[in-house]
Amino acid sequence: MNNTVDLSKFNNGWYKPGGIVRRVLWFVVGRVFVNTYMPWPMCLKRMVLRCFGAKLGHGVVIKPKVNIKYPWFLSVGNNSWIGECVWIDNLGKVAIGSNVALSQGAMLLCGNHDYKKTTFDLIVGDIVIEEGAWIGAQAVVCPGVTVRSHAILSVGSVATKELDAYGIYQRNPAVRVRERTIS
């Protein structure tokens, strides 16, 4: 006979993403300056993120309504774009290289649950997106995934494993459909 999930026994007490004051302060400040449609200057958004520990290179573009769970777990290289309504659910570290584009509504998800355990334990995995990669609109990058240099994850696709350099990936789960050629 199969066991059943018992969420009353769920316990992620081991997970310590930062002090409660820091998290609450970020929740408020992040909603006012980053996760909003208020047209704040990009330099102000970058300053706020840096004040909360994000490591941002030069020329990072942050569009409206970006949701970043914990900026102290985020690093972004030079000239990268974070599109409107991007959700960086970085329960783990997210490292974004230079010249990376995250299109509208893309999701970087560092957390998942162990569906094989009755306690539905939290699983956390870091995400790395290397230089020149492009994550298409409404695409999802799952925990523990590395997107290699200049790879493309097409619109609405889901990366559940590493994407090779210069590969173009589509579907759910994402599969390589062709080579990216840059002229």
Band (pLDDT 50/70/90 cuts) for residue 2 is confident
106-117 confidence digits (pLDDT tens): 999 999 999 999
Residue 168's Cβ-count burial label (10 Å; 0-12, 13-18, 19+) is buried
What average pLDDT score do residues 44-65 get? 98
CB burial string 58-87: b at 16+ within 10 A, e below: eebebbebbebbbbbbbbbbeebbbbbbbb
Average pLDDT, the chain: 97
What is the residue-wise DSSP string for 48-111?
HHHHTT-EE-TT-EE-TT-EES-GGGEEE-TT-EE-TT-EEE-SS-EEE-TT-EE-TT-EEE-E
Q: Are 179 and 152 in contact (CB under 8 A)?
A: no
Q: Which pairs count as long-range contacts for 155-162, CB under 8 Å and 24+ apart, including other chains?
A: 155/103
In angstroms, the CA 10 to CA 120 distance is: 6
For the stretch 75-106, pLDDT in tens is 999 999 999 999 999 999 999 999 999 999 99
Q: What is the mean pLDDT of residues 47-75?
A: 98
Inform me whether the pLDDT recorded for 72 exceeds 70: yes
Contacts of 144 (CB under 8 A, 6+ apart): 125, 126, 127
Percent pLDDT > 90 in the chain is 98
In which band, very low, low, confident or very high, does the pLDDT at 1 lie, cut at 50, 70 and 90?
low
Q: Is 8 helix (H, G, I), strand (E, B) or coil?
A: helix
Per-residue pLDDT tens for 120-153?
999 999 999 999 999 999 999 999 999 999 999 9
| Boundaries of every domain in the chain | 18-179
pLDDT in tens, 156-168: 999 999 999 999 9
For the domain made up of 18-179, the CATH class stated in words is mainly beta
Kind and range of the H or E run holding 123: strand 122-124
Asked if the model's pLDDT at residue 12 lies above 90, the reply is yes
Predicted TM-score (pTM) of the model is: 0.96
Strand partners, 25: none
